[in-house]
Structures are given as C-alpha cells and as structure tokens.
Amino acid sequence: MAMATSSASVKRGRRAMNAEINVTPLVDVMLVLLIVFMITAPLLTTGVDVALPNSRSQNLPAPTEPPLSVSVDSAGKIYIQDTETPIDELTSKLFAITGEGYEERIYLRGDENVDYGRVMEVMTRMQRAGFRNIAMVTDPKANIRGSR
C-alpha cells in the first residue's frame, strides 16, 4: 500500500506549465525609477533664464600709492608692507600708518604653509582694532590642490 501511494503522487514526465509572470522585480525597478525621478526633477530647474549682457568696461585705475598689506610668512612672522612687526604691536603700528577711521582696504596675505589659526589671529586683531575692510589675497594662477 505504501508503494501505491508514493507512485500515485509523483507525476512522471513533464511538469505542468506555469503561465504566471513574476512582476515583483518589475515593480521594484519601477519604484526605484520613480524615486530617482522625483528627487532629480526639482534639481533640474535652476531658476529664471536670463541672458546676461556683454560689457567692455575699462580697467580700474591703478592706485596712486601702493595698497597697505599685512603679510604672514611661512614661519608665522608678521610684516606690515616689508617691515617685520610683533603681533602685540600690529594694531598700534597700523594706526600710526593709517590714522583713525581708515576706510581703505588692507590686504592680508598668508603663506600657504602657515597655520590657518595664525592668519585668523592677525585678522581678528585687525578687526577688533576697527579695521573692517580686510581682503585676503590668493594666487589666482595657482593650481587647485584637489586636481593634481
């Protein structure tokens, strides 16, 4: 009897055709594409389309006297123009050169190898003394370090 039951449950020959299509992977792909398009569509609009005018302006006139510059070299020494200045005397020497209420731009130049904190210390002292028009000078011809 055991033999008859086991042979009756096993079909010999080909298996029956399965006519169902599994759509789960298709739905997964479509949902991922929907999410991607929902995220990227707002990023494609950049704002108002504006045609900017061309201009041929004259160069700014060169200043009659050299601009005032404060430099920090690679060793951390501070210079006003070409004169080495201790940090404690920086603001007093700047006031001696410029006088009170100096509104012209002062150029701050820091060596690329000097500690960033040292340059910020010099800038902070200048700002606390009342010099508000400070420009940090960079080399526009230098390569960007990340692209080497």
Write out pLDDT tens, residues 109-144.
888 888 889 889 999 998 888 888 888 887 765 555
Has residue 28 been placed in a domain?
no
Has residue 43 been placed in a domain?
no
Has residue 96 been placed in a domain?
yes
Has residue 115 been placed in a domain?
yes
How large is the angle between the packed helices 90-98 and 116-128, nearest 10 degrees? 50
Structural domain of residue 132, as residue ranges?
A: 68-140
Domain count across the chain = 1
Has residue 101 been placed in a domain?
yes
Domain of residue 125, CATH code: 3.30.420.270
The model's pTM is 0.53
pLDDT of the residue at 60: 58
Distance from C-alpha of 96 to C-alpha of 9, rounded to nearest angstrom: 107
Has residue 36 been placed in a domain?
no
